[in-house]
Amino acid sequence: MISKRNKIIMYILMAVVTVLTVFPFIWMLIMSFKSNADILSNPLSMPKALNWSNYRTALKTLNYPQLYLNTFMVCVVSLVIELVITFFSSFALARMTYRHPWASKAVYGFLIAGLSVSPFILLFPVYKINLFFGLREQWALVFPYVASSIALYRCNTCVRPLKPSVVHISNRVITNFLAKEWYE
Amino acid sequence: MHWLSKTRYKVGFLVPTLAVYIVFIMLPIFIAAGYSFTKYSGIGKATFNGLSNYRRLFEDPIFWKSFWNTAIIFVLASVLLLVVSFFLALLLNNKLKFVDFSKAMVFSPAIIAPIIVGIIWVYILDPKIGVINNVLRAVGLGSWAQQWIGGPNLSPYSIAIIYFWQQLGYLTTIFIAGLKMIPEDVIEACKLDGVNGWQEVWYITIPMMRSNISTVVVLIITGIFKIFEIVQQTTGGGPNHLSETLVTYSYSMTFQSGDYGYGMSIATVTFLISLGLTGLYFLIFRDKESDR
Give, for all 184 residues of chain A, the pLDDT tens digit: 567 888 888 899 999 999 999 999 988 888 888 877 777 777 677 777 777 888 888 888 888 888 888 888 888 888 888 888 888 888 877 776 666 777 777 777 787 777 778 788 888 888 888 888 887 777 788 888 887 777 777 777 777 766 556 655 666 777 777 777 666 5
ipTM surpassing 0.85: no
Q: Does residue B272 have a pLDDT over 50? A: yes
- pLDDT of res. B43: 77
C-alpha of B113 from chain center: 15
Instruction: Check CB contact of B106 with chain A, cutoff 8 Å.
Output: yes
Which of A93-102, B92-101, B159-168, B252-261: highest mean pLDDT?
B159-168
- B36 pLDDT band, cuts 50/70/90, is confident
CA separation, residue B73 to residues A78, B49, B156, B271 (Å): 31, 33, 6, 17
pTM (predicted TM-score): 0.85
| B108 vs A contacts (CB less than 8 Å) | 21-22, 25
Instruction: Check CB contact of A13 with chain B, cutoff 8 Å.
Output: yes
| B215 vs A contacts (CB less than 8 Å) | 153, 157
In chain A, where are the structural domains located? Answer: 4-61, 64-183
| B106 vs A contacts (CB less than 8 Å) | 17-18, 21
Contact across the interface for A129 and B23, Cβ inside 8 Å: yes
- pLDDT of res. A169: 60
| A125 vs B contacts (CB less than 8 Å) | 27-29, 31-32, 35, 264
- pLDDT of res. A16: 92
Q: Give the span between the Cα atoms of B286 and B292, in whole angstroms.
A: 8
Angle value at C-alpha B269, between B266 and B271, nearest 5 degrees: 110
> B238: closest CA among B249, B251, B227?
B249
Cβ-nearest to A44 among B29, B138, B250:
B138
- pLDDT of res. B6: 65
Instruction: Check CB contact of A80 with chain B, cutoff 8 Å.
Output: no
Q: Does residue B4 have a pLDDT over 60? A: no
Q: How high does pLDDT run on average in chain A?
A: 79
- pLDDT of res. B79: 94
The C-alpha of B267 sits at a distance from chain A's nearest C-alpha, in angstroms, of 5
Query: What kind of fold does domain B62-291 have according to CATH?
Result: MetI-like fold (1.10.3720)
Q: Does residue B80 have a pLDDT over 60? A: yes
- pLDDT of res. B286: 64
